[in-house]
Amino acid sequence: MFRDISFMKIISGLLLLLFIGCADKNSKSDKQILDFGSFSIVTPNGWTKIKAQGVDSYVGRIAIDNIDTLHFDLGWYSNKLNEYEPTILDSSMISSIDTSMVDKSEIIFVKNRMRVDPDKYKKNNVSWDTIDGRNAKIVFPRKSGIGTTGIYIDSLWQSGSDVDRFNLYGDNLKPTNEKLFLEALKTLKFHKKK
């Protein structure tokens, strides 16, 4: 009887190890490496590379799903992902604006413009981190799903007479995709082509 109990413990232990090994293998298989030559990123399976044609830089896209898409630009003139100050006007000026010349949805009307902090109306937050040994500006929405999520690096490497910069971003991403993208940004690796 003692042998039967020991044998059962050994079998149970082996089955437990097999189960843990399979579970670990499944958790790793939900990721993939997207290699763009000059950089790579680890993303969830299913994200796909989309080629694009750039004029003076290396550009492309990553389709997260059939709704959300990320865009990248590696070159001298990559967008810094700055958010511009919102246009805030006194509501008393509504009648004096020629609405045929202006998109009113881009204007914020308030009772007293002098008492308003424009930062209150911005869509994005900005933080700084180190990604692959480089200082990186991380942009993410204040209200999930409304705004820009992305990264900007102002100095990758010397390229001709200037320095290559990089951005990778998406606009108005679904909250789930926004979270997955912010995690994926931490895995960026850069590879200068010679």
| 122 residue type, one letter | K
Q: How far apart are the first and last CA of the chain?
A: 70
Q: How far apart are CA 172 and CA 177, in angstroms?
A: 10
Domain ranges of the chain: 31-83+122-190, 87-118
Q: How confident is the model at residue 118 (pLDDT cuts 50, 70, 90)?
A: confident
Q: How far apart are CA 56 and CA 73, in angstroms?
A: 10
Angle among Cα 36, 42, 45 to the nearest 5 degrees reads 100
Quick one: CA torsion of 84, 184, 62, 64, rounded to 10 degrees? -100
Helix, strand or coil for residue 61? strand
Contact 42, 48 (CB under 8 A): no
Paired tokens of 25: 């293998």
Which residues have CB under 8 Å from 143's CB, separation 6+? 123
pLDDT tens per residue across span 49-99? 998 887 888 899 999 999 999 999 999 989 999 988 777 777 766 666 665
Strands 87-90 and 107-110, how do they pair? parallel
Domain 31-83+122-190 matching CATH 3.40.50.1000: the answer reads no
- The answer to pTM > 0.85 is no
What percent of the chain shows pLDDT beyond 90?
51
Average pLDDT over residues 25-53: 87
Nearest residue to 168 (alpha-carbon basis) of 124, 136, 141: 136
